Amino acid sequence: MKLRVAFFDFASCEGCQLQIANLEEEILDLIEIVEVVSFREIMKEHSDEYDIAIIEGSIMRPMDEKRLRDIRSRAKTLIALGACATTGGINKMRNQRSVEDVKEEVYGSDKITKDNEFFNVFQTKAVDEVVPVDYYIHGCPISRDEFKRVITALALGKKPVIPTYPVCVECKKNENVCLFELGKFCLGPITRAGCNAICPTNGSVCEGCRGILKKPQVECVMDILERYNLTYEEMKRRSTMFNMSAFSAKDEMTMVGGSKDE
Amino acid sequence: MSNTFAINVEHVTRIEGHGNIVLDVKKGKIEKLQWQISEAPRFFEAMLQGRNYDELRSITSRICGICSIGHSLASLKATEDALGIKITEQTQKLRRLAINAENMQSHILHVGYLAAPDLFGVGSVFPLVGTKNTDALLKIVKLHRLSNEMSDLVCGRTVHPIRLVVGGFSAIPTERQLRNLRDRLEEEIKTTKEVADVVKSVAGNLPDFTRETEYIGLTSDKEYALYDGIIASTDTGKHLDYRDYKSIIEEYIVPQSTAKYAKHARESYMVGALARFNLNSKQLHPIAKEVANMFGLKPINYNPFMNTVAQLVEFVHNIEDSIILIDQLLDDGVDDEKPVKAEVKAGRGVGIIEAPRGILVHDYTLNDDGICEKANCIIPTNQNHANIQKDMEEFVPQIIDKPEKEIELNLEMLVRAYDPCISCSTHYLDVKFA
Amino acid sequence: MTRSKVIKVIVKKDLDSFANNLIKDETHEVIGVKAKGEKFVFAPLENADELRLDYDVTILPPKKYFLPQYEKMMGFNLDKPFDVKESDAEKPRIIIGIHPYDIIALQQTDKLYLDSQKDDFYEKRRDNTIIIGVDIQNVSDRSFAASMKTNVTDSGFDLMLTNLGKDYAITVGSEKGKKLLEKYAKTKDATKSDIKKIQKVREDIASLYKKKVKIDKEKWSSVLVANYNHGIWGARSDRCMGCGSCTMVCPTCFCYDVEDEVSLNLKDGTRTRTWDSCLLRDFTKIGSGEVFRDDIKERYRHRFYRKGNYLPERYGFVACVGCGRCGVACLPDIADPCDVLNDLSHFEKSDDTDRFFIKQETKAIEGGTIHVPKAATIRRMEKLTENETLFEIELDDSKPIGHKPGQFVEISIFGIGEAPISVSSAPSESSSFEIVVRKVGNVTSKLFTMEPGDKLGIRGPFGNGFDVKTLEKKHLLFATGGIGMVPTRSLINHVLDKKNRGKFEDVTILYGCKRPCEILFMDEIKKWEKIDNVNCILTVDTCEEEENWDGDVGLITTLFTKIDLDKFDSKNTIAIVVGPPIMYKFVIKSLETMGISEENILVSLERRMKCGVGKCGHCQINGVYVCKEGPVFNYSQIKNLPEAFE
């Protein structure tokens, strides 16, 4: 019997679901090997019975938490799709400030927001801060190739292999000129690979959207900043776009996003 | 007739983002009719403040997955306007290719995957597989693939582009790559016409509903405006000062929506492909004009359902336009040029483009260090919400005697016709200096 | 130059014509050194104008043309998995502009990849590539090739170009090169004065180098041996991010990983080989999740030892050619071997550490490549315990696999991957053999879902196995723990076989498991006990009332007290110890107390065996390949081998 797959989205830009539509002809292969029972963006049909739930987006409100817990209880396997789901992604940037602060900034007086369920937000959470996640498909947006690898692995009954090494491995294989040598600060050396180093390969620094693997030693960072004439401010800035939780919490932080048994 | 019923569509399918349709009818009288936006606010405004000028396009790109190229381009234009950076001719052309690619990708996704199923009487494209319409589906997929590969080439990636940076591009396509693209675009004009024929064959299923509306979009003497232009309205004509967009676009808040509404000369107005067509159809390229004629689409067309047809027409135009742009690039010779360097200084900049769904404005104020202190964005779909509401108010009485399911489908089709991008629209950015 | 070679001279513009003629010839793909921004790369050449023979160093070495970053080894279709599709033939290549140090690196790679278990993918590419080298004209400031004596070479090329100013000299290195010149180039013979000029140019190259290593490469090995526990490894690796850049850009790094990829239709797939790096944490990770080189310090150190000690001991060359690429690529700048060796240069005295003697002979793989698995069918499955199942497998060509006890095979399931499993049955004429599988990872989990009649692939047998001849006329004492009984059974059944029994003396089998339900092959053990001069003693760590166990309870070391030491001839006893890592230390102590010498103790160690033929690099314990020199080891040889018993 084919695995039944359902897609759900929370607070996100829906770019990761779009990436799945971007599978083009291969989406027809996808619906051959699994049964897509819910995919709001491109399908009207919906079912509440599924084996695999794929979640895009971060969790921001009690109503979202409730919906997520319900989904988790129905699915045997839950996959976090994209940075907003796997690590909180760019949505976590606002966690630097208190919720009251940002609400006031955006909506001013609380005439509309007060007692309104839609506006009752807390600090952004990644999916695994609410329910257990079985598999992570990282990236902002996801890599279509990686998505295919994970789905085919699950369809074949094997555990998908997600890289635990940095982007530099893939960047060097592509024979890119290292962006540090061009005076730019790239997060590649500490960011999880699996995207085939797409940004450095296109001449742009890695922004760490797949989650950083490990905070490097301070001495190492200072060495690099000095060697390439970069500033600490720039490093901190770049690191806090997608990996805010790594740098706002206490010092001993390890991985952002990913299962604990890696 | 004295029918009493309620329609409550929570999270309309086949649109981007979360919106609800609520209709309460008692004894043939409309008690409540609302187009509601329930999208979670993500507070982008709180995230842009304090960020460096070279990060803004990365962050704003993530407002929306489908129009991420549009947001990046508007963001870059605003930043370059603030810093006084003048981009090269080549960059101008490449960015026009980028905007064409996004328009194509977004439109064919909407026409083929989101709107067409209603015309075929199915819930999604998937049931079309294995029927006599499989061929049409495969053609649509082929065109979608072409659009994405074009984005990949020019921007590095179609969702959240990489190559678009302040001052230009971080990597340039080679002449060989552009030549290959051009050949493929030329080849696929035929496929596009075939898809147009298929859509025409079911276009009769589009409701015949009109309501006199104001249309707003960019306009230009040089071209069918997408990347550059000045704001124009079908009611009031051209508006010359681009920085004064607020005098045309008046935003206001309503309780049923987490997104703002907008108005100008009337209670609401429409933006998007139909608006652009109504303003600038004379500047369409020839084959696009042919396709418009095929559907009897003439300015000014007041049927919102024809927005989908206008998108198809624009798709054709974008292909023709891209071929012309590539020919120009090849004639001039493609330079592996680096982006124009930015001189960091304080300033305010406004960047306006036509995203697939309509006019998009980014407005930034930077301080001496190039840090963003104030930002404002006007999102296309924001500007359409009021019009959707007004259209519904006029449409429902016309169809009130139909079976419930049909009314529900028609209302959904109305919303879909606008191709709304709701995640975007709750993210107007209005940051005050802390 | 010891051998006189044919040397020609060519005018610069004719050199361009030569290159353009090569490009026009459609039978070969022409690769040359080109600019990429401010750097250089080897890439397809479209016009001689692009050629930059004055370059200093390329980002990646030419190894990418012989061991590609991503290589499709074979294609398969899951409906018919053993109709393996060879990857498409590649066009032959001509590479213009390889520097001597990169040529030497390729010759080193040959020693590894073209040994008795040669890699034919690599071989084909080597045979199909014409190498046109160029003498160094500019030197990267991180390169120290001169002090490594790799800045010039007189072998390994088909043609070698030397810039003489107005023209170029071309030294012919092979018939292929000679024919190429004859066909496409306008040259004249070099005069005596030309030859003198070439010599001078080559001599002067050394003076371009600012960076020098203070220790001669002949001494690297002994310096490293003396400093295995030096503080420098921890101090430097503190800054290491484990990014793998140093190994990716290195011309003498050639470890790889293999993965199966299946397309969305769940039918078509490829088995892909890609560059791997010993600096990455999962390099040594096995199916159960254990990682053998977890500490970044150990991984960081391993790379220098592989280049400066392990490979030199094995092949006689230092696997570093001083190209300087890692110095450029390493962001915190800790990867440069020149810097490391210079730091160690005042610790030259060699220690007297017993090194593991690395034997070289391994049987050449007969027929077929080392990579393509042979088709086999599952004949029988028998559940032994909760987690272990026995599989009886027969090769489809009905030939016996011809294994020795202690060897292993790689079980290959297309679409899933491969796993190394010990052979459990004794060597025999029979065309089927037995393995016992514990469900830990993807491949083993998949095996558990299969049924008799299903097909899988076999590569091997690999490893050195037990040298049965050395056990003859000896008493044998087996100390087996848990799943260690699987390979041990192969040896026991061989020894106790009627045909062989007479060759061996008394046999004592001590077998310990965690609990009674985990004991394997109880029926066979009962049969063994009935054989003359065979004594089996079993124990479990713990047991519950319900399990009805009336044997010993306690660790395996307690069983040694049951052996009658008066009747025990320790001098003529060989002990065979196989079990979980924690067991070894204690058991070996017990054996020594009994008077068994270290030379008479055999152990079997497990690591991540992947290729099975000593090429992918994953199974290394220091410089020892567990898949070639092991998994069976003589304890005296490896007792001091770092990393072996941690």
Residue of B nearest to A139 (CA): B160
CA-CA distance, A31 to A52, in Å (whole number)? 14
Residues A183 and A211 in one domain: yes
Q: Chain A neighbours among C 321-340 (CB < 8 Å)?
A: 329, 331-333
Q: Residue B283, Cβ neighbours under 10 Å: how many?
A: 17
* Cβ–Cβ gap B113/A21 under 8 Å: yes
**Picking from B239-243, C387-391, C441-445, which range would have the lowest pLDDT averaged per residue?**
B239-243
Residues A121 and A174 in one domain: no
Percent of chain B at pLDDT above 90?
A: 67
ipTM: 0.92
- The pLDDT mean for chain B works out to 91
Residues A111 and A231 in one domain: no
For position C368, what pLDDT does the model report?
66
Q: Where are the alpha helices (DSSP H) in B216-282?
A: 273-280
Per-residue pLDDT reduced to its tens digit, B330-348? 999 999 999 999 999 999 9
For residues C76-88, average pLDDT: 85
* Cβ–Cβ gap B43/A141 under 8 Å: no
* pLDDT higher than 90, residue C101: yes
Predicted TM-score (pTM) of this structure: 0.93
For residues C310-339, average pLDDT: 94
In this structure, is residue A253 part of a structural domain?
Answer: no
Strand arrangement, sheet containing C159-163: C39-44, C29-36, C93-98, C129-134, C159-163, C167-172, C7-11, C188-189
Residues A16 and A120 in one domain: yes
In this structure, is residue A109 part of a structural domain?
Answer: yes
Residues A152 and A188 in one domain: no
In this structure, is residue A262 part of a structural domain?
Answer: no
* Cβ–Cβ gap B124/A13 under 8 Å: no
* Cβ–Cβ gap B109/A21 under 8 Å: yes
For residues C433-446, average pLDDT: 94
Per-residue pLDDT reduced to its tens digit, B276-285? 999 999 999 9
- The fold of the C469-604 domain, in CATH, is Rossmann fold (3.40.50)
Per-residue pLDDT reduced to its tens digit, A81-123? 999 999 999 999 888 888 887 777 666 666 656 666 777 788 8
CA-CA distance, C487 to C435, in Å (whole number)? 9
**Picking from A222-231, C61-70, C603-612, which range would have the lowest pLDDT averaged per residue?**
A222-231
CA-CA distance, C612 to A247, in Å (whole number)? 43
DSSP string, C237-256: HTT-----HHHHT-TT---E
Angle at A206 between CA A203 and CA A211, to 5 degrees: 160
Per-residue confidence at B431, pLDDT binned at 50, 70, 90?
very low
Which of A188, B384, A57 lies closest to C241, judged by CA?
A188
Helices and strands, number each (H, E), in chain A: 11, 5
**CATH code, A84:** 3.40.50.700
Could you tell me how far CA C228 lies from the centroid of its own chain? Answer: 22
For position C349, what pLDDT does the model report?
60
In this structure, is residue A16 part of a structural domain?
Answer: yes
Of the candidates A25, A97, A207, the beta carbon closest to that of B141 is on A25
DSSP A209: T
Counting Cβ atoms within 10 Å, is residue B130 exposed (0-12), middle (13-18) or buried (19+)? exposed
CA-CA distance, C273 to C268, in Å (whole number)? 17
Structure tokens at C270: 């490829």
* Cβ–Cβ gap C331/A217 under 8 Å: no
Residues A151 and A195 in one domain: no
* pLDDT higher than 80, residue B260: no
CA-CA distance, B284 to C502, in Å (whole number)? 97
* Spatial CB neighbours of B151, under 8 Å, sequence gap ≥ 6: B69, B98, B101, B102, B105, B157, B158, B161
3-state DSSP assignment of residue C572: helix
CA-CA distance, B364 to C167, in Å (whole number)? 60
Which of C362, C369, C254 lies closest to C303, judged by CA?
C254
Per-residue confidence at C459, pLDDT binned at 50, 70, 90?
very high
Residue of A nearest to C445 (CA): A158
Residues A20 and A136 in one domain: yes
* Cβ–Cβ gap B68/A13 under 8 Å: yes
Amino acid type, C111: K
* pLDDT higher than 80, residue B257: no
Instruction: Find the distance separating the first CA and the last CA of chain A, reported in whole Å.
Output: 30
Q: State which residues form the domain around A23.
A: 3-156
What is the domain partition of chain B in residue ranges? 5-37, 45-425
In this structure, is residue A257 part of a structural domain?
Answer: no
For position A251, what pLDDT does the model report?
45
* pLDDT higher than 90, residue C85: no
Residues A95 and A198 in one domain: no
| β-strands B29-37, B164-165 pairing | unpaired
User: Which of B141, B143, B152, B159 is the best substitution to test chain A (most A C-beta atoms within 10 A)?
Assistant: B159
In this structure, is residue A112 part of a structural domain?
Answer: yes
Per-residue pLDDT reduced to its tens digit, B53-93? 999 999 999 999 999 999 999 999 999 999 999 999 999 99
Residues A81 and A43 in one domain: yes
CB A258 within 8 A of CB A162: yes
Interface contacts A/B by beta carbons within 8 Å:
159
* pLDDT higher than 70, residue A250: no
Strand partners, C437: C389
* pLDDT higher than 70, residue A248: no
CA-CA distance, A73 to A55, in Å (whole number)? 13
Could you tell me how far CA C175 lies from the centroid of its own chain? Answer: 33
For residues A33-52, average pLDDT: 88
For residues A246-259, average pLDDT: 57
User: Which of C267, C331, C412 is the best substitution to test chain A (most A C-beta atoms within 10 A)?
Assistant: C331
Residues A122 and A37 in one domain: yes
Per-residue pLDDT reduced to its tens digit, B382-405? 899 999 999 999 999 999 889 989
Whole-angstrom CA distances from C21 to C24, C29, C108, C216 are 5, 12, 31, 43
Residues A224 and A176 in one domain: yes
* pLDDT higher than 90, residue C328: yes
CA-CA distance, B192 to B315, in Å (whole number)? 8
User: Which of A26, A147, A162, A175 is the best substitution to test chain C (most C C-beta atoms within 10 A)?
Assistant: A175
> Among the three residues A156, A180, A200, which one is the final residue of a domain in this structure?
A156
Class of the CATH domain delimited by B45-425: mainly alpha
* pLDDT higher than 90, residue B360: yes
CA-CA distance, B304 to B391, in Å (whole number)? 8
Per-residue pLDDT reduced to its tens digit, B175-206? 999 999 999 999 999 999 999 999 999 988 88
CB C175 within 8 A of CB C20: no
**Picking from B17-26, B68-77, C57-66, which range would have the lowest pLDDT averaged per residue?**
B17-26
For residues C486-502, average pLDDT: 94
Of the candidates C41, C282, C446, the beta carbon closest to that of A164 is on C282
DSSP string, B64-91: -STTHHHHHHHHHHHHHHHHT----HHH
Structure tokens at C370: 């080392």
Domain C374-462 has CATH 2.60.120.10: no
What is the domain partition of chain C in residue ranges? 7-208, 217-343, 374-462, 469-604
For position C65, what pLDDT does the model report?
97
Per-residue confidence at B434, pLDDT binned at 50, 70, 90?
very low
For position B288, what pLDDT does the model report?
96
3-state DSSP assignment of residue C89: coil
Residues A44 and A144 in one domain: yes
Per-residue pLDDT reduced to its tens digit, C575-595? 999 998 889 989 999 999 899
For residues C560-566, average pLDDT: 83
- The pLDDT mean for chain A works out to 87
- Same fold across C374-462 and C469-604: no
* Cβ–Cβ gap B16/A44 under 8 Å: no
For position C367, what pLDDT does the model report?
63
Domain count, chain A: 2
- The pLDDT mean for chain C works out to 92
For position C311, what pLDDT does the model report?
93
Could you tell me how far CA C63 lies from the centroid of its own chain? Answer: 17
Question: Touching A: which chains, 3+ CB pairs < 8 A?
Answer: B, C
CA-CA distance, C9 to C161, in Å (whole number)? 9
Strand partners, C393: C378, C433
Counting Cβ atoms within 10 Å, is residue A77 exposed (0-12), middle (13-18) or buried (19+)? middle
In this structure, is residue A258 part of a structural domain?
Answer: no
Give the containing element (helix H, strand E) for B20.
Answer: strand B19-26
CB A156 within 8 A of CB A33: no
Per-residue confidence at C214, pLDDT binned at 50, 70, 90?
very high
